[in-house]
Structure 1
Amino acid sequence: MNLEVVETAAGELYVDRAGGERGSKAPFYHVYADEAGETRWGYFCGNCETVNNAMDSMGRIECNECGNMRKPDEWDAAHE
């Protein structure tokens, strides 16, 4: 795994740009807390390049900076 180091307010994190999750503006890339890529930390927004995002219980990811959004894995109108 080839990970890119990024400096954040949370410290040094490692981004895997080889994969990721489709977003409305750009992909969300997986972020790891360690250089070996063994400890998942969260997601990195490919649109504005921040880790400032949130995931809800249905798996929806939304960037708090630019509004990039990944739809949930399963959607049910009852949850809206």
Structure 2
Amino acid sequence: MPTDRDAVETPRGETVYVDRAQAERGAKGRFYVAYTAPGTDHKWGFFCGNCESADNAMDTMGRIECNSCGNVRKPDEWDAAHE
């Protein structure tokens, strides 16, 4: 299990561990997978590589949006009825 993850602080003061080898493509930059501990598979969420922020949200369709810079990842599934 990898332990070479960057420790970052979330807006709530939690420490999460960012794995820069695992990323999702966003419009302005990558979203990196963040974990609850350095040597675990338990995902915490995503970290915005564009503005280096952990303040982002993911909806039920897999769309990720950074609340700090507006970086966005398109949803896994898309349906015109959702617009």
Q: What TM-score bracket applies, with the shorter chain setting the length?
A: over 0.9
Does the CA contact (< 8 Å) of 2:26 and 2:72 recur in 1?
Answer: yes
The corresponding residue for 1:55 is 58
Give runs of ≥4 in structure 1 deviating > 3 Å: none
Asked if the contact 1:25/1:47 (under 8 Å) is kept, the reply is yes
8 Å contact 2:9–2:54 — kept in the other structure?
A: no
Which residue pairs with 2:14 in the alignment? 11
The 2-side partners of 1:77 and 1:48 are apart by 30
In structure 2, the gaps of 5 or more residues are: none
**1:21-60 to 2 correspondences below 5 Å:** 21-60=24-63
Residue 78 of structure 1 aligns to a residue in which SS? helix
Compute the displacement of 1:39 (Å): 1.4
TM-score, normalised on structure 2?
A: 0.89
Q: Distance in 2 between matches of 1:47 and 1:37?
A: 25
Q: Secondary structure at the match of 2:9?
A: strand
SS in 2 for 1:65: coil
Q: How high is the sequence identity, in percent, across the aligned residues?
A: 60
How far did residue 71 of structure 1 move? 0.1
Give the match for residue 70 of structure 1.
73
Equivalent pairs counted in the alignment come to 80
CA shift for structure 1 position 18: 0.6
RMSD: 1.0
Shift of residue 10, structure 1, vs aligned partner: 3.1
